[in-house]
């Protein structure tokens, strides 16, 4: 008998703190695959910009078939009460009767705690309480979600180790990679127009530029080696753009679509993970680590725990924290023979894929569904 596929009659409702069209990352990889099997609804953080009555903006993403749901609230409405009403109306309008709730943000409990799903999944991809501007009640909400959830996934090994005692059914799923997509960079020979005029050597980064970025390190490397050019791709959020180091050899090219990334990486000589070591980065597991490797580039990173282990320990990524160490590591990467590195990267990458990650997650959730005699929310309430 074939394996069940997350019981195909069930819809999946995801509650997330991230905008679907912001940066293509873990939720997008997983839910795009899920949407091939069933209806998937991605409920974003509400926006207080409604001129009239509060409403839901509902649109389908044509590339993924995921339905994006954005609550629009008036500035002065009672948030929890209105969101609860909108969620109830939404389920009725879409004829959603049997479903799984998939959380990325515990804060969504304020308008979903009354629902009766078949199962509750918490995919804890980051320690959100360590991020800038985190709600003060976030830890309390997460404790509640841990009590309600049937199963918990973590976005990395260090986060798993920090949370493992908080739930009896918790599993580590570190960052994975779409190898074929990023391996295109090995074959691309032309540069995007906004990168073409930047001289080599080019050291590049893509991702969100926020409080997790080590701006002093970035500036130090650029000053130490004015002949190197640092290419920074991604949106600047939660920090004042005026605080970014402004030097002739640092180039901020803005956000790029996921489909464009291989075209930029193809023109880099070294790929960078210049993260600060602070509360916001303590448990991160950067998805871009294996993506850089799939693109065929040498990688230099600060000592982020989930990069050091396994990538640094296996000699797949150079680890450096001070400006001098980082410069030395990049210099070594620029002159190395890539043959052995690329071979070792490819051996490692054969062990992981987003397809495989989703399949393993799906089977774990199916095992919950097959053994669930009553809705998860009711069971959790009864246990409390």
CB-CB contact of 103 with 18 (8 Å): no
CB-based burial label for 271 (10 Å; 0-12, 13-18, 19+): buried
- Looking at residue 375, its pLDDT comes to 41
Residues facing 252 on adjacent strands = 232
Q: For every one of its 384 residues, what pLDDT tens digit does the chain have, with 9 covering 90 and above? A: 344 556 667 999 999 999 999 989 999 999 999 999 999 999 999 999 988 899 999 999 988 999 999 999 998 888 899 999 999 999 999 999 999 999 999 999 999 999 999 999 999 998 887 777 778 889 999 999 999 999 999 999 999 999 999 999 999 999 899 999 999 999 999 999 999 999 999 999 999 999 999 999 999 999 999 999 999 999 999 999 999 999 999 999 999 999 999 999 999 999 999 999 998 898 999 999 999 999 999 999 999 999 999 999 999 999 999 999 999 999 999 999 999 999 999 999 999 999 999 999 999 999 999 884 344 443 343 333
Q: What share of the chain is helix, strand, coil (3-state, %, to 5)?
A: 40, 20, 40
- What is the per-residue pLDDT for 80? 92
Q: How many CB atoms lie within 10 A of CB 201?
A: 16
* β-bridge mates for residue 43, sequence order: 15, 69
Fold match flag (11-176+354-383 vs 179-349): yes
Alpha carbons 57 and 38: distance in angstroms, whole number: 21
* Superfamily of segment(s) 11-176+354-383: Glycogen Phosphorylase B; (3.40.50.2000)
pLDDT at 205: 98
- Where along the chain do its domains lie? 11-176+354-383, 179-349
DSSP H helices, the chain, are 26-34, 79-93, 109-112, 138-148, 157-163, 179-183, 193-196, 215-224, 261-265, 288-294, 305-307, 323-335, 338-349, 354-371, 376-383
The predicted pLDDT at position 5 comes to 56
Return the pLDDT at 7. Answer: 62
CATH 3.40.50.280 matches 179-349: no
State the pLDDT at residue 72: 95
Number of H helices, E strands in the chain: 15, 14
Question: Is the Cα dihedral 278, 210, 65, 46 positive or negative?
Answer: positive
Which residue has tokens 């998937």?
40
Tell me the three state secondary structure of residue 83: helix
Rounded distance, CA 384 to CA 381, Å? 5
Beta-carbon count within 10 A of 92 CB: 10
């Amino acid at each position: 008998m074939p394996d069940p596929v997350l019981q195909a009659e069930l819809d999946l409702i995801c509650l997330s703190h991230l905008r679907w069209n912001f940066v293509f990352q873990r939720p997008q990889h997983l839910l795009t695959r899920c949407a091939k099997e069933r209806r998937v609804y991605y409920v974003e953080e509400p926006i207080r910009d409604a001129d009239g009555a509060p409403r839901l903006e509902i649109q389908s993403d044509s590339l993924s078939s995921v339905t994006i749901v954005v609550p629009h609230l008036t500035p002065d409405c009672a948030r929890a009460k209105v969101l609860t009403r909108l969620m109830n109306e939404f389920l009725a309008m879409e004829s959603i009767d049997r479903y799984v709730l998939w959380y990325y943000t515990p804060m969504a409990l304020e308008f979903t705690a009354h629902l009766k799903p078949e199962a509750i999944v918490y995919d804890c991809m980051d320690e959100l309480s360590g991020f800038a501007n985190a709600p003060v009640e976030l830890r309390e909400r997460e404790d509640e979600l841990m009590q309600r959830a049937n199963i918990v996934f973590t976005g990395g090994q260090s986060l798993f180790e920090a949370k493992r005692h908080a739930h009896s059914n918790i599993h580590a799923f570190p960052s994975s990679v779409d190898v074929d997509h990023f391996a295109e960079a090995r074959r691309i020979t032309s540069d995007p127009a906004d990168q073409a005029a930047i001289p080599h050597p080019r050291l590049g980064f893509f991702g969100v530029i926020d409080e997790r970025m080590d701006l002093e390190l970035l500036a130090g490397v650029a000053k130490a080696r004015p002949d190197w050019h640092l290419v920074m791709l991604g949106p600047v959020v939660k920090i004042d753009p005026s605080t970014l180091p402004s030097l002739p050899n640092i180039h901020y090219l803005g956000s790029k679509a996921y489909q464009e990334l291989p075209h930029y990486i193809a023109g880099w000589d070294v790929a960078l993970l210049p993260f600060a070591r602070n509360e916001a980065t303590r448990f991160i597991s950067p998805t871009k680590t294996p993506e850089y490797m799939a693109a065929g580039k040498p990688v230099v990173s600060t000592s982020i725990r989930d990069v050091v282990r396994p990538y640094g320990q296996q000699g797949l990524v150079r680890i450096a924290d001070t400006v001098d160490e980082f410069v030395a590591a990049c210099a070594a990467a620029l002159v190395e023979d890539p043959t052995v590195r690329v071979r070792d990267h490819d051996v490692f990458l054969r062990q992981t894929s987003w397809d495989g990650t989703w399949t393993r997650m799906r089977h774990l959730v199916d095992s919950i569904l097959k053994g669930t005699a009553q809705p998860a929310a009711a069971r959790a309430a009864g246990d409390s």
